[in-house]
Amino acid sequence: MVSERSLEVLRVIVQDYVASREPVGSKAIVERHSFGVSAATIRNDMAQLEEEELISAPHTSSGRIPTDKGYRMFVDQLADRRPLSAAQRVAIETFLGQSVDLDDVLMRTVRLLSQITNQVAIVQYPSFARAQVRHVELVGLTDHRLLTVLITDTGRVEQRVVEIEHPVDAHLLERLKSRLNTQLIGSNVDASAAILAAIRAETDPDEEVLVDRVTQALADQFAEYRHDKLVMAGAANLARTEDDFTGSIYPVLEALEQQVVLLRLFSEMVVERGGVSASIGRENESFGLGETSVIASNYRSSAGELARLGVLGPTRMDYSNNLAAVRAVARYLSRQLGDD
């Protein structure tokens, strides 16, 4: 059984090691922290922590570093659940408040989160299978080219350029737009395939080419609403912490490129009380990320759909700051999208 003082020793070992990347010894703990006991007593506490596999010796020096189990204990019991500073909160509100649409706000979110945490920031797009069509626009660009624009109640906008062999008749284009809006507005993404198929089936022969090209473009746009995808920023932060990995960082970079891996990891993380969760070190081995930690939280889209955002970095990370940052950004993103 680990004593209360030993847990406090674990806390300072984690904090000092994260700050310095140097193994932490008993003498340094006595000098830096007010425990009111001798270095010999601290060594006994460290021995207890080592028996519990919460810290380990990386080499023959007297210093110790946290293990994955030690980081887990720190996150679960010892990390300060401190709020962000007033300056950080203002920065979040100012930066994200300038967003013009969903794509922009998610891109701004990962850029901001990577800057606050110095980690790789990841945001999952919400699932929009239940999103409803608000408007379809067809815009003639040239005689042989037009633009299809799909707008839903989520605020998301999808566009496609369509090439047509024959010149596009403006009156025919206007009639098709009216027909599409009449049948699609108010329907959800899941119902779109059947509606588009019915429109194609009821098309006059002289309109078939145009209708086929336009409905296929719209079908592709609707498909984007069903696909899970991620936005990331801050991969360069991994290069700055390369010494925290025993081998190369390339396997981590490769895992980041495989979005399906990160989506599966996100889906298996259970958001705990306080609205944030962490998956640490060996807990991520099955995803090829055994030397990393991931901190994640949920946010809610304007359509009420839940999605995840978080940060990924080496196990030697500032958990207290990162937990607070992820939680705060997730809450602000939910408010931002809800206001929209």
Tell me the per-residue pLDDT of 8-17, one tens digit each, with 9 for 90 and over: 999 999 999 9
In angstroms, the CA 41 to CA 311 distance is 37
Q: What percentage of the chain reaches a pLDDT higher than 70?
A: 97
What's residue 27's pLDDT? 92
For 310, phi then psi, to 5°, come to: -175, -170
Q: What percentage of the chain reaches a pLDDT higher than 90?
A: 55
pLDDT digits (tens, 9 = 90+) for 180-211: 999 999 998 888 889 999 998 888 887 888 99
What's residue 221's pLDDT? 86
Averaged pLDDT of the chain: 89
- Give residue 61's pLDDT band: very low, low, confident or very high (50, 70, 90): low
Structure pTM? 0.76
- Give residue 108's pLDDT band: very low, low, confident or very high (50, 70, 90): very high
Q: How many Cβ atoms sit within 10 Å of the Cβ of residue 138?
A: 21
Residue boundaries of the structural domains of the chain: 4-78, 86-126+228-339, 133-226
Architecture label for domain 133-226: 2-Layer Sandwich (3.30)
pLDDT at 60 over 70: no
Q: How many Cβ atoms sit within 10 Å of the Cβ of residue 122?
A: 27
Q: Report yes or no: 26 and 49 within 8 Å, Cβ to Cβ.
A: no
How many Å from the N-terminal Cα to the C-terminal Cα in the chain?
51
Fold classified for 4-78: Arc Repressor Mutant, subunit A (1.10.10)
What's residue 339's pLDDT? 61
Please identify, in words, the CATH class of the domain defined by 86-126+228-339. alpha beta
What's residue 7's pLDDT? 93
CB < 8 Å & 24+ apart, contacts of 151-154:
152/128, 152/189, 152/225, 153/302, 153/303, 154/102, 154/126, 154/128, 154/301, 154/302, 154/303
